[in-house]
Amino acid sequence: MSQFSQDAQAEASTDANANVLMDVIGKLVEEMRPHAAAQSLTLDSAFERDLGIDSLGRVELLERIEQTFGYRLPEHVIISAETPRDLLRMLQHTDLAAAPQLANNPQGAAPVLQTSNGEVAIPLHAQTLVEVLEWHAQHHPQRQHITLYGDDETLEYITYGDLYSGAMAIAAALRQRDLMPRQTVALMLPTSRAFFESFLGILLAGAIPVPLYPPVRPSQIEDHMRRQIGILDNAQATMMITIPEVQTLARLLQPKVPTLRHVVTKRDLEGATSDGTRPTVEVDDIAFLQYTSGSTGNPKGVVLTHANLLANIRAMMMASEATPQDVFVSWLPLYHDMGLIGAWLGSLYQAYHLVIMSPLTFLTRPQRWLEAIHVHRGTLSGGPNFAYELCVRRVRDEDIAGYDLSSWRIAFSGAEPVSPATMQRFTDRFTAYGFQSRSMSPVYGLAEGTLGLAFPAFGNGPRLDPVQREVFTRTGQAAPADPDDPDPLTFVSCGYPLPGHQIRIVDSAGYEVPERREGHLEFSGPSATSGYFRNPEASRELERDGWIDSGDLAYVAEGEVFITGRAKDMIIRAGRNLHPYELEEAVGNLPGVRKGCVAAFGSRDSATGTERLVVLAETRETGTEEQTKLRSQIDALVVDMLGAPADDVVLAPPQTVLKTSSGKIRRAASRERYEQGDIGKRPSAIWWQILRLGVASLWPRIRRTSRSLLELAYGLAAWAVLGITVVMVLITIAIVPTQQRRQALAQRLARLALRILGIRLTVHGLDHIPETHPYVVVVNHSSYVDAVALMATLPPGLSYVGKRELGKVSIARFVFERLGVEFVERLDTQKSIEDSDRLLQLVQGGQSIVFFPEGTFGREPGLRPFRMGAFTIAAQVGAPVVPVALRGTRSVLRGEQWLPHPRPIRVTILPALYPKGTEWLDRLSLREATRQAILQHCGEPALENPAEPTVFEQQTQE
């Protein structure tokens, strides 16, 4: 066994006091944040940011620690600590023997808990994949990691210890061949033990693996290898590990890849003995290069660091609530991110059992996938949309008689457009075998984001969003369709951004669009790549102002992401934006057309600048009469779906429609082949048709440009109106003597400003405001416009709680104080507690007060966890809590943006909630009831694990 890396966590976790302390903190976190993942608690978790323990939560924690240890502790011990490790360190340096004992601990000795017998199966503090492997090999080397199905249906079992030993031997052999740290090694191996050991062996040698897909058939080896030359050259691969069938040909191609010194097989690397040492691997080192699908002409290798990988894996595990007790069944190829990261590396980290087979096994006999789920009681599994369709079409009842799929908790569907019809067909087909509709889970991700980016709320089943087809294709507005709409356009929700990640939808000018408006999807977060390997031009095009361009089109509704298509695949025709997926699926269902082998794309006419709609479909029909009939059927279908026929329908033999290594349609490459005249024949066009199409195709571009200019003009005008309003408010509050009259005049000015700006304000539930004081108003916080909406809505005479940073400028402080704002400290725990006491005295004196319990807001939609201050005050005074839900203010002015938009705002005042007592659990119950009431009316999801603070938030906190 080698020398394993250890940190202070390993030593502290063996200390009895540390176990006691973490148990106390864990119970408090579970009470305060019942939806947070248990694995988020570590010795280095930040009390505020990671665990959601605010200043009043710290007070409760201090009391519990004192009760547990039996000593009265100095307040500074809990007030100044930022993490459990800080608290543990302070406790260790506190003279407990000299500390006053609590009356309920007559023995006078701090209790010592026995170390838990439960095995911690997750390396929470590992910073690299190498540390993950070493941690598992050290803590449970005999734990079964992989069950591998062989081509002859035999099973091979791989433990963590086996995997580590095999990988160390590979690393030693690579280093003997002079492989240096941070050099790249191409890995062209099928799903096998050799792949797992070689991938990790490359990492243990300090090098960078580059997974490439192996040839499927011997007849393809030469063509396949020639298409990999561009990737090998771009990656500057120094070695290649492959199968014997490829080795000879790869050596012949070595002169075309100057850096490639060795082409070896797994057998060539056997026999080396490891001395137990390895090069240092850092968190920001490249873990591997993921070459994007179909990238042969201009290879783009996504750079993924160890930090990227572990951040994405941890976020996906948190969102899916995966545990070491789960079983992941996979046939997904290991050269593709969904199989490599989602299936294998996720199981490597989370320690759940991975059952894996070759992709060819699934493609030839898809029932083997379902059989493995049945036999191994698989809980997690998935694949692209075509996999579910293949099961529906190819699996016979007699193939799966007696199978039980009820253990399948999450059926991921991603990597290609998700078809609502396929999901429904799969569910209907396999419900009799225990498959549950709520398990079907469309997800979204991309290589540039490591893998996952948006996951749904698992267990609820897929959410479908039918929208008005004509409105969407012409304007990009996803207006909900009426229930009796005979032909809606249906999109599938991919859920919410993963914890710690953000998604925004922008127009062509880079301005964020409102909800239900289609635009370009951009994202940010710890999983985002730094760029493409040795491709600075493509890397520059990828990033904009800290956001990564996904290349996908989407819209957001109630916080959920709906993918509508690829930006480059969109067809602009007759003033309409057409997405090819639905059309391709419909054409593929026609008898005589090969399903999944249809490409619809726009072909640019260089003479007019217009786009022509081309449908390329594979068929085995060769007769003239049959092909004529099939073209007519396709034309009729296109007219039914789009209102106009395709400009060209091309019927081609099998293998004509180009696809990526993961099975996606390569529309751009198919279009290029079409435009070069390799397939089909371009029909001639009449001049007036060309002219009409040319004018119509210009309109969407003109509309987008005009919209951007109008939004800019409106935003500038809005700030002018708000500036005038501020001046009028300043004059008013300076001369009006009482706070209530000042607020009444400010209310009129706020309503007038909203009316001038065209922002429609709708208010519901004013009769729910108590007639007697005091009461506590609790409001969700999503924009700076919230204060304006509340001032225009709530009755005068209330006090508002605001963060102390707002009063740093003297004139701002004067305005806010005259309007009844009470400033509180958020960052200094001691002052925050003092401010809470001051607010308590204010409410005890009969003053009603307004709280934003989230404490801050970001640009991403979602209701953040609530702080305890408002609910503690309400419980201690016995005052009712009035929940108020704001909806639409985020769309008016989103965080990190400075140009407002004229969107409607709705204020819903909900029935008052009364505290049931003053105990800690009573206050938590009041907080949860208030948050749930607001959640039902704010139109945004619960954000249990909000992203890291934005740049603006960090600056304001500083």
What pLDDT does 66 receive? 77
Low-confidence ranges of the chain (pLDDT < 50): 1-14, 37-38, 97, 103-119, 294-297, 574-575, 607-609, 680-690, 692-694, 696-697, 947-958
Query: What are the strands, taking DSSP E only, across 212-325?
Result: 237-242, 262-265, 286-291, 301-305
What pLDDT does 643 receive? 56
From the number of C-beta atoms within 10 Å of its C-beta (0-12, 13-18, 19+), residue 298 rates as exposed
Give start-end residues of each CATH 3.30.300.30 domain in the chain: 574-685
**Which superfamily does CATH assign the domain made up of 8-98 to?**
ACP-like (1.10.1200.10)
**DSSP state letter for 795:** P
The helix (H) or strand (E) run that includes residue 353 is strand 353-356
Span 60-81, pLDDT tens digits: 787 788 777 776 666 666 666 7
Which residues does residue 506 pair with via DSSP β-bridges, in sequence order? 512, 520
Which residues does residue 55 pair with via DSSP β-bridges, in sequence order? none
What pLDDT does 694 receive? 47
Distance CA 851, CA 916 (A): 20
Distance CA 329, CA 379 (A): 8
Asked whether 518 and 703 are in contact (CB, 8 A), the reply is: no
What pLDDT does 11 receive? 42
From the number of C-beta atoms within 10 Å of its C-beta (0-12, 13-18, 19+), residue 300 rates as buried
Asked whether 721 and 741 are in contact (CB, 8 A), the reply is: no
Give start-end residues of each CATH 2.30.38.10 domain in the chain: 464-569
- Domain 129-361 falls in which CATH fold? Rossmann fold (3.40.50)
* Tokens found for residue 586: 């419909």
Distance CA 943, CA 930 (A): 15
- Tell me the angle at which helices 55-69 and 16-32 cross, rounded to the nearest 10 degrees: 140
- Strand 353-356 and strand 380-383: the pairing is unpaired
What pLDDT does 604 receive? 62
CATH (residue range 574-685): 3.30.300.30
Nearest to 821 by CA among 950, 729, 937: 729
- The reply to whether omega before 442 is within 30° of 0 (cis) is no
What pLDDT does 956 receive? 29
Put the strands of the sheet holding 611-619 in their side by side order. Answer: 593-604, 611-619, 648-652
Asked whether 121 and 140 are in contact (CB, 8 A), the reply is: yes
Give start-end residues of each CATH 1.10.1200.10 domain in the chain: 8-98
Asked whether 598 and 618 are in contact (CB, 8 A), the reply is: yes
Give start-end residues of each CATH 3.40.50.980 domain in the chain: 365-442
Nearest to 120 by CA among 51, 22, 2: 22
SS3 102: coil
CA-CA-CA-CA dihedral for 167, 168, 174, 178, to nearest 10: 150
* Tokens found for residue 912: 């008052």
Q: Evaluate whether the domain defined by 365-442 bears CATH number 3.90.1570.10.
A: no
Q: Say how many CA atoms lie within 13 Å of 232 toward its Cβ.
A: 28
Helices (H), 543-601: 580-588
Distance CA 740, CA 327 (A): 62
Q: Evaluate whether the domain defined by 712-957 bears CATH number 3.40.30.
A: no
How many helices (H) and strands (E) would you count in the chain?
Answer: 31, 35
Helices (H), 446-597: 469-475, 536-542, 580-588
What pLDDT does 199 receive? 97
Sign, CA torsion 55/60/65/66: positive
SS3 367: helix
Helices (H), 282-384: 306-320, 337, 346-350, 359-364, 367-376
Identity of residue 231: I
What pLDDT does 314 receive? 93
User: What Rg, from alpha-carbon coordinates, does the chain have?
Assistant: 31
CATH (residue range 464-569): 2.30.38.10
Distance CA 102, CA 108 (A): 8
Give start-end residues of each CATH 3.40.1130 domain in the chain: 712-957
The helix (H) or strand (E) run that includes residue 800 is strand 799-803
